[in-house]
């Protein structure tokens, strides 16, 4: 009965699912060193996993791809921390950037151990070494993150190793990295989890030149391991210049997922953009895996999606309830009625 009810919902949505394809603007490369866990070896690098989690929460439409994937259809590529870059991948990434694509890389991604230099032609930094203490501290000066509580006069702890780099000529720097008094060990004890902030290293947190962004603190892996909202806020602020005019801007908390699909015109309907909204709310428990066993109406949600013309109508699928919308600065803006756990919104254009 439970399975039948679930498939009945999918069957009712088939007219909005057939031949619909995900609209992805970012590609996260599924390469880089794996991490040992209590259950064995992870299946992806922590940087890749952290990027996917962060992009889902920010509403950035993304794919996880291997190194052989074509990158031409994407606007942004993420190269994970620690990833080795051979000649073939280097050429692919260099051509992608030269063609106007944006690139994010972190830590030692693409670092040539023989020369101590990054192999990417458009790298905006010179590598100097690992930060002297773990943790390091991050000050987010110059990063605008509206809608968050990110502060420019506070040093946020970064638990993983950070890196010290020097920006190259013409590059723009953001924030700074500081050191702790010492790394907490048996020889250097601190009653808390880590020693407090000591002083700045006069080294940048992030460096951008054109559409290439380097993260001296690997925020993506850090987000996967520590789930610290400040890392998400920092990257969200840095994305504004790197990936302007995103496909969709959600209005809602990070635990509500907005997924955009595109459905080509067919008999009976024109081109559609289909936005799937999932608002499942896991409850606090002592189990190792968060799970959902209750739903409750969620209000105040909405989104802006980049228009593909003048919309003819916006409605909820499969019921067909019409939704009010406006078109502003090339975006279709929709405020959603209260939803229980999910909703499907169809934006339809002329046939």
Check pLDDT > 90 for residue 37. no
Tens digits of per-residue pLDDT, 322-346?
A: 999 999 999 999 999 999 999 999 9
Check pLDDT > 90 for residue 172. yes
Sequence-distant (≥ 6) Cβ neighbours of residue 272 within 8 angstroms? 16, 20, 262, 263, 265, 346, 347, 348, 349
Choose between 195 and 140: higher pLDDT: 140
DSSP one-letter string for 60-77: --EEEE-TTS--TT-SEE
Cα–Cα distance between 53 and 57 in angstroms, integer?
A: 6
The region of weakest confidence among 78-82, 120-124, 192-196 is 192-196
Check pLDDT > 80 for residue 297. yes
Q: How far, rounded to the nearest angstrom, does the alpha carbon of residue 172 sit from its chain's CA centroid?
A: 21
Check pLDDT > 80 for residue 40. no
Check pLDDT > 90 for residue 157. yes
> How many beta carbons lie within 10 A of that of residue 92, not counting itself?
17
Tens digits of per-residue pLDDT, 186-217?
A: 787 777 788 899 999 999 999 999 999 999 99
Check pLDDT > 80 for residue 270. yes
């Amino acid at each position: 009965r439970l399975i039948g009810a679930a498939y009945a919902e999918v069957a009712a949505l088939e007219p909005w699912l057939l031949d619909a394809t995900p609209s992805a603007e970012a590609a996260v490369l599924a390469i880089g060193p794996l991490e040992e866990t209590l259950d064995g070896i992870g299946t992806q690098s922590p940087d890749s996993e952290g990027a996917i989690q962060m992009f889902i929460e920010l509403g950035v439409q993304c794919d996880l791809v291997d190194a052989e994937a074509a990158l031409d259809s994407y606007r942004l590529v993420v190269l994970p921390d620690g990833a080795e870059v051979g000649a073939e991948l280097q050429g692919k990434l260099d051509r992608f950037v030269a063609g106007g694509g944006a690139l994010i890389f972190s830590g030692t991604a693409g670092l040539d151990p023989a020369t101590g230099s990054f192999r990417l032609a458009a790298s905006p930094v010179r590598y100097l070494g690992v930060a002297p203490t773990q943790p390091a501290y991050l000050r987010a000066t110059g990063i605008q993150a509206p809608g968050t509580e990110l502060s420019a006069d506070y040093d946020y702890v970064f638990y993983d190793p950070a890196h010290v780099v020097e920006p190259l000529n013409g590059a723009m720097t953001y924030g700074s990295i500081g050191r702790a008094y010492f790394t907490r060990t048996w020889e250097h004890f601190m009653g808390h989890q880590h020693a407090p902030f000591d002083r700045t290293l006069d080294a940048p947190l992030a460096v951008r030149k054109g559409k290439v962004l380097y993260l001296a603190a690997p925020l993506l892996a850090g987000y996967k391991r520590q789930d610290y909202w400040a890392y998400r806020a920092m990257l969200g602020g840095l994305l504004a210049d790197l990936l302007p005019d995103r496909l969709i801007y959600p209005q809602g908390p990070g635990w509500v997922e907005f997924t955009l699909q595109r459905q080509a015109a067919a008999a009976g309907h024109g081109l559609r953009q289909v936005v799937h909204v999932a608002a499942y709310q896991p409850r606090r428990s002592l189990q190792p895996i968060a799970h959902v066993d209750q739903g409750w109406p969620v209000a105040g949600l909405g989104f802006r999606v980049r228009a593909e013309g003048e919309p003819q109508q916006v409605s909820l699928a499969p019921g067909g309830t019409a939704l009010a919308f406006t078109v502003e600065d090339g975006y279709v803006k929709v405020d959603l009625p209260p939803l229980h756990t999910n909703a499907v919104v169809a934006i339809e254009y002329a046939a």
